[in-house]
Amino acid sequence: MTDPARDRYFTDLIARLSALQDAAAEAIDATVRAVLDVVAADGRVFLFGTGHSHVLAEECHYRAGGLAITVPILSGPTTVQDGAVAGTVYERLPGIVAPILDRYGVGPRDMLIVISNSGVNAAPLEAAREARARGAKVVAVTSLAYSTAAARGRDRLADLADVVLDNGGPPGDAALSLEGSEMRVGPVSTVVSAALLNAVFAEVAERLVAQGGEAPIYRSANMDGASEINARIVARYRDRNPHL
């Protein structure tokens, strides 16, 4: 008898995270260096994802233990919150991202982290192209295995990025097979990609502190001193982040 799916899911995730610590080390370090360049230029680190990937843009926004240099790019029609079926259509339509980036003022001092697990849909690819045209650095968070399988001759997000953070996820995202069914369950991209991003920003914060600079780190609202610390950070970054 096989182990229960819940146990196999944890085992799979732990193995993926363990492998990624070494496999992604070089890309993480390259991303960290690029983020530090953005901080030195007084720029912003934008994050954009469609469908479920927008969750990762929110993961880094106003986050306890996170950095205030991050700005989520949020557009309801391209996510699941205004209708999942419609959102799937929108993320495959060309021409919708440029006006979104206009609203946020993405420019040459900035970075855009584009999150797309499949790495082939129109909106994230357009986001990468638009950001590069505006002079911004582009980092992709994607699955190379998935995008390679799904591309079928199309461009991949990974081909348009300066740095690629490969989450190592399987084609289709679902990691577990089920006895008696051809369907698979257990998506892994959100958990693993969140770990990649949080590893990047933890390292950025550590290096900023080591360099004697300020690391604008949010404190959980339920911890002592949080009100004063977070109010100070928000006052400094509010005009740079429309979601504060």
Domain ranges in the chain are 5-238
pLDDT tens-digit map of 44-90: 999 999 888 889 999 999 999 999 999 999 875 655 556 544 445 45
How far is it, in rounded angstroms, from Cα 55 to Cα 143? 16
53: Cβ–Cβ under 8 A, 6 or more apart, which residues?
Answer: 115, 116, 117, 124, 141, 189, 193
Contact between residue 80 and residue 49 where contact means Cβ atoms under 8 Å apart: no
Q: Looking at residue 87, what is its pLDDT?
A: 44
pLDDT tens-digit map of 99-145: 888 999 999 999 999 999 999 988 899 999 999 999 999 999 999 99
pLDDT at 28 over 70: yes
How far is it, in rounded angstroms, from Cα 79 to Cα 30? 29
> Predicted confidence band at 91 (pLDDT cuts at 50, 70, 90)?
low
How far is it, in rounded angstroms, from Cα 128 to Cα 36? 20
pTM for the predicted model, two decimal places = 0.92
| 3 DSSP 8-state letter | P
Q: Which helix (H) or strand (E) holds 49?
A: strand 45-49
Q: What is the CA radius of gyration of the chain?
A: 18
How far is it, in rounded angstroms, from Cα 222 to Cα 226? 7
Q: Looking at residue 97, what is its pLDDT?
A: 86
Q: Looking at residue 197, what is its pLDDT?
A: 98
The dihedral built from the CA positions of residue 220, 225, 230 and 236, taken in this order, carries a sign that is negative
The average confidence (pLDDT) of the chain is 91
Contact between residue 88 and residue 121 where contact means Cβ atoms under 8 Å apart: no
Beta bridge partners of 181: 178
Q: Tell me which fold the domain 5-238 belongs to.
A: Rossmann fold (3.40.50)
